[in-house]
Structures are given as structure tokens and as C-alpha cells.
A and B are shown apart, each in its own frame.
Chain A
Amino acid sequence: MSRVHTLHSIPVCVQSIEVTIGDNAYQQNRVNQWTTNVVEQSLSQLSKLGKPFKYIVTCVIMQKTGAGVQSASACFWDNTTDGNCSVTWENKSMYCIVSVFGLAI
């Protein structure tokens, strides 16, 4: 499963980010809407693929100011059928990390 989802999830996530954020500079009053839009668009594109999977999509947007950030995930699932993929995207003023977890039904 992991390979199939890596192939399909990455372009879906990148497109959602590009369409939502694109070249915009970090703006505190808009970032709430951006994270919501990125996860919702990614999820709706993934579910349209019609595969027998449950999906979890998370999005983190962080302003670039030199702060350090670290993220880790651990999963207890079926290694033969479930998998995940992460996309890290950035522009001049912010980082955006989108993770997709796919679990076979």
C-alpha cells in the first residue's frame, strides 16, 4: 500500500498547498483558513480516488523566524496494507508540512 499512496498522495498535497498558499506571505489572520483549506482539499481529492482506505491528513504551517521545530510520528497498524507520506513545502516566509496516513479498510 505504501508505494501506491506515496505516488498518489504527494501530488495531491502539493497541489492543495500551492492552490491555497502559493506565493502569499505569512499572515496571522489568514493562516487558520489556510490550514483548514489545505487539509480539506487534500482529503477531498484523496477520497475521490475511490480507494478502500480511511485517511488522516494533518497540516502544520510555521512562520520562518529562525525557530527550531521537530516533529515525529509513530504508528501501530498493519505494515502490509497501511502507510503514510509527508510533504514539506516552503516559500520565503513560511514552512508547510502535510502528512497523509492511509489505513486499509
Chain B
Amino acid sequence: MVAEARRLGWSVASPSFSLSARDPHAPGQAWPRCKRWDGLCDSPRRGSVAPPPVFGSPWNQGLGWGASREVGSALSPNLQSARPGGACQRAGMGSSVSGSSSSLGETCQNGALLDVGLEDGGSLTKLAYYSTVQHKVAKVRSFDHSGKDTEQDHEPPYEISVQEEVTARLHFVKFENTYIEACLDFIKDHLVNTETKVIQATGGGAYKFKDLIEEKLQLKVDKEDVMTCLIKGCNFVLKNIPHEAFVYQKDSDPEFRFQTNHPNIFPYLLVNIGSGVSIVKVETEDRFEWIGGSSIGGGTFWGLGALLTKTKKFDELLQLASRGQHTNVDMLVQDIYGGAHETLGLSGNLIASSFGKSATADQEFSKEDMAKSLLHMISNDIGQLACLYARLHCLDRVYFGGFFIRGHPVTMRTITYSINFFSKGEVQALFLRHEGYLGAIGAFLKGAEQDNPNQYSWGENYAGSSGLMSSSPELCPTQRARSGTFDLLEMDRLERPLVNLPLLLDPSSYVPDTVDLTDDALARKYWLTCFEEALDGVVKRAVASQPGSVDAAERAEKFRQKYWNKLQTLRHQPFAYGTLTVRSLLDTREHCLNEFNFPDPYSKVKQKDNGVALKCFQRVVSALDALDWEERQLALVKGLLAGNVFDWGAKAVSDVLESDPQFGFEEAKKKLQDNSGVDVILGVFPFVRELLSRGTEVILACNSGPALNDVTYSESLIVAERIAAMDPVIHSALREERLLLVQTGSSSPCLDLSRLDKGLAVLVRERGADLVVIEGMGRAVHTNYHAALCCESLKLAVIKNSWLAERLGGQLFSVIFKYEVPAE
């Protein structure tokens, strides 16, 4: 993606680089294995050695203990058996104080939080902990030129070194209270910071299990206020997870409609349906008010339901309800009015009196019917109260949470119906994907207040998180037994805060993705199959990228299994991670690759391609300079587009390019399938150079992290440096800061303009960018094709997918060249 501006522009380049490499996975560097919570796969992560740079000390007020993903195994006997025998299972014990190292992938830091759900229906304990995750990352570094002749053939333009990088990650785990003792034992065994005297806990269970926790851990339980935690958690997910909120639509497929995050999430109403109902008005990050509640809630459904039907479990009650006929138990309007309701304009099916028939008839009522009637009664009542409160406080955004809602389409349906009925459509019932974690997230954030995690942006890690409904017995009866349920959410702390692109015309209505695959079943089928078919190639590439690693094949196989499973989940539950898009499929793949330590499978390809392209640069530029202005403009655009097609991994093409600087676009597009490193060096830089020559300032923005063979910010710096050495235009522009290289904040082949690096946004505003050039299929077609900006924009890409080309009404290798001027 490139951006250009007349006076000033910025560009986000997608082209890739090849990085020269020491083998990052030398023999003997065996990856430690640890069992993941879900027992599905081994996660080769390095234990942290050093304290995390940012989250360190302030979080020490909490419990400093190490835990890792295998807490789950320890807790859950059936999973324990699946643990590999000799593998190191010890949890990391690192804390910023002790700094003890471990061979494990993650180290739990202070601020472990227990959200011990007690009166919440599933009686789930939510455990929140912070870890530092050590990844292998491919770093690029210029060679020291002094001692070497860099112009030598076959010498890579820069070196790649694999380094360990520590990133912060928040983990949230849910498991049943049954395992609380095992959990506490585990915590005790791994407690490392003996100075810690306090553990933070929230949820009703924090009170009930207070003594147990204090006795077992010899720690004081610091009880966090449930509602405060809930609200903090809610604010956090609404701000950090796109597609967090959704509406439930009964007859659509799928039934979940995700909402674009509004830039301003306040004010809103949170209706928490636990045992009882709490209605809270949230006005700002720190200001909220309990405005009301009701004692008729989930506990009423459960307690009364158990009495009426002799059914003990909440889930079973819901299942009963979904099979029942409430009209056998409820007195309807038509029961009172007879057939006359029609002429009176009344809806005969309205319930006049819940359980009204059981008062007058001495017949037996079926469990199913009673459960259904009870469900309607409670849902309607809550919906009615919520509407009354929303109206009183003039709010139209109402989020529902609590165990009554959690993962239960049945209750989401009845609540939505009730809200629509009582508000006459004026209020929308919204639900949250991570509703079950709000308390734990909030408690955790509260414990970490001094460090204010809110100053960071966070991203959901698709690889490590369970999808929506992953444990719903209604939707996934086969997935796992309810008793063994635990769900996961992982949030990666992003290096830099993300914000809206200031040039978005209407941030609240901006939707990055062009096609909603949750909505478009045909497209969904196509793309899922497409990604399945491409999986072999990705696995091969991953293995090839680490030739010296003894377990690369093994890890790649695990990656394959994990991503394959994700794809299968998405086939059945396209809503699992929010709106399904090509972008989310690509991102999930990146996350899974990272999970198995393939941080940048294309690094070497990029390194090689960039080396070749750099050699062609001067020839290309001088050929361009020989053209007259108009021809040159055309050639530049062609180059930009051609670069988008070229895959320098293909020998035939690099031969063509080496021999003919006037590279043949027509020829190239016949032979090549994917974009590559040539993009940035031979496509983008000449284009940028032309802009600079005519006095335009340019901001060139590249991905912060690796994605496919797209160029990364750090690679772009080296490339620019190398080009500057050859080209005076680039050289002076860099020196005079007329060419600025920045990062986008993204590590995806696509681009979400509502989550861009803050530095970029600041620069765009300061420099008054008035043209945005977005280049590449991922950034200009899969996303942002419809993005409306308040300045001129140019979106260009080559459609390298025949299905998509057909969808868009063109042919394979058709060109998208979309120049837009905002309406006055």
C-alpha cells in the first residue's frame, strides 16, 4: 500500500523483502513443549528470562506467581492424561522481582486474578493472568559495510537474525468451580514472589471461597468489586476488540450480526443478568452508576425451574425450554378474549398472564412447557425493565451480559424479542463475544491500574482464543463435554497504540472489509476452501524457512492441524471470531504461524528478492527518467501494479527482470501469482521518487510486523537506506524529512484504517496529508475498497484471484485503479 500526496502524502507499502538469515533454528535449539490448555497442540514458546519491560513492577501488588497454559491440564483430570510424559510442564515463575527463568513458553507475571464465579450460573472461575511471551522474531540488520564488498554477487543486502522478543499477553481462562482446589494447589506450587501478600479476587465466589483461598495460599484475598470489574472489562473489550458486540437476529444465517465499534463507546447501558439483574449506566471510563435492578434473573430461572421441573442444571433447563410450548401454560390474550382479539387489533399470542393456565386447570404440565413459559416470563420481564431504564436515561445502546445470556442463543433470542417488543425497535439489544471474561479482565486491569493498560492497544490472538459459542452445548454438542469446559481468551499487547486514521470520512461507519463472509455464504465457502487448499503450500514454506531446525516439520504439522481446525470451526461457526472476512482468515493464519514459531516464513524469500531488486533499481530508474513525462507516469503506475504481481521467488521472472529493466508487465502477469519484494523497490520507490521530484512530501508506511511476504517497517528502513546510497533524490528527501518512513501498526496483509499506529496518525494530521494511496489486493480490495476518506485517494491493485475477479466483474489480473475525490 502506498500513499501519495501532492504536497504531502503517505504510503503504506506492502511489498516484501527478503532477509538474509542465519538459521534461526539451529540444531540443539530444541523448542520446549508445553501442553496447551485445550490439550490440542503443543506450544513451543520460550520462557522469559528477563522481566517484561513495561508491565513489570507496578503489577506486583497482585499476586506474583507463575502459571502457564498447563494450569488447565493440572486442573482438569481428563486432560492431564493427555500430557506428554517427559515434557517440561513447570510453569514459568518469572516475576519482575524474582526474574526466575523457566524453560516454558510463558511466564505469568504478577497480577494474576481470580474471578471466582459463584452465583453465576455455570459456577465458573475465571482466572486472569499476565504473561510475557518470548517469541522468535526475525530481525533485519544492515551488514557492516566497511569490511565487505556489498556489491558482490549473491550477497544478501542485509542480514536476518532471529532474536527473542518479549511481548506481553493477557490470558483469561474459564473453568468450573469444581476445580478450584486444584487451581489453588497449582497456584501455590508455582507461587514465586514470596513478598506477595495479597491475591485479587472478584465474583461472588471470592466471598464464599475466601477462607479456602486464604488458607491454601496463605495470602490475603483482596476482593474487587464485581460491577466495577465488569464495567472496566466491558470498556476494555469494546475498545480493543473489533466486532466485539453483536445483535442477535433470529431468522438470519448466521444469527449473529457484529457491530462496527463506535469510536466513542459511551454512554451505554449494561444489563448484567446473573442470579439477579443489575442495570448500570456507563458514562465514561471511570464513571458509572447503578441505576436499577431486578431480583428476577438467572437465579430465578434456575431456582424456580429446578423446583418446577426437577431438572438440576441450568443448561438442561434451557434445553427443556427450547423444546417447550409456553402456550400450554401461559394465559394468552386469545384465551381471555376468545377469537375476538383479531377484530380488536390485539395480538392473540401476547401473554396476558404468565403461568395463568396453571392456576385454573388441574391438569399436569410438561417440564418443557413450564421451562419455556418461565424463560419467556423472565426474559420479557428483564427486557421490559431494560427498556424502561433505557428510556428514562435516553440511552439506545444496551449491552446484555451475565450467565443467563452467556453463550445461550435461546436466551439471546428471547431477550432480543422482548427488547424489540417493548421498545418498539428503538432500543437494540447488544451482546458481547467475550462477555464471560469481563469480570476477570476488569479485575485484572484494576489490579494493574498504576500501569494503566488502557494506554496500550491490545489485539485478540485468534490462535490462542476460543471462538464464540465454542463451549455452548446448544451449538457445539460434540465439541467437548460441558463438564470439561474451559474457554480461553488471549490478548496481545501491541507495541504501539492504535487509533483511527484522521482522514476517515466517518469513523463510526467505516467498515474495513469489503466482503462480509458471515453474510455471504457463497463467498465464505469459496474462501474457506481456498485457504484449505493453500495450507499445504504454507506448511511447506514454513518448513523451508527454517532448514536448520530439527523440529520445524513437526511444528509445521501442528500449525497445519491448528489452522485446519480453525477453518473447520469457521465453516460451522463463521461468527466464532466476529465477522468472518478474508482479513480475519489471513490474520488467523499469521497468529497460528506465530504460535508455532514461524514468525516470518518469508523472511529469506524477501531477503533474496530484495537483493535482486536492489540491483535492478538504478537501471529501472534511469530507464524511467529517459521517458517523457506522460509516458513516465504511465510506466510508473504500471510498475506499481506490476510490482504487485511479481513474485521474485520465481526464477524465470528474476531472469526477465535482470535482463530487461523495462520489465514486461504483460509477460510478468502471465507467469506470476503473488506480490513480492520487487513491489517496494521497483514499484513503490520509483513512484515515490517521482512524487518527491515534483516537490511532494511522502510518508511511506509499512507493516509493523511480518505478514506473508509484505515488506515490514524495519525492512523498509534498510531498503531506503540502500536506495539512498544509490539515488540522490531519495537521499536528500530522507535527510530533509520530505520522505518519512513509518509503521502502520499492523501485522496483517490487510489494513484496518481504524486501527493504525498513533505515530502515523499524528504525522498525517501534522503534515496535512491530502492524498492517500493504498496499494495491494489485501489493503485495497479485501479491505478499504469502499473506504470513504475526506481527502483524495487512489486504490490500486491487481486482482490475482479469478474468483474475486469474477465477483468484481473483471478477469484474472484485472487492474483496480480507483481514484476518488471526496464529495464536496
The answer to whether A and B assemble together is no
Chain B interface residues toward A at CB < 8 A? none
Chain A interface residues toward B at CB < 8 A? none
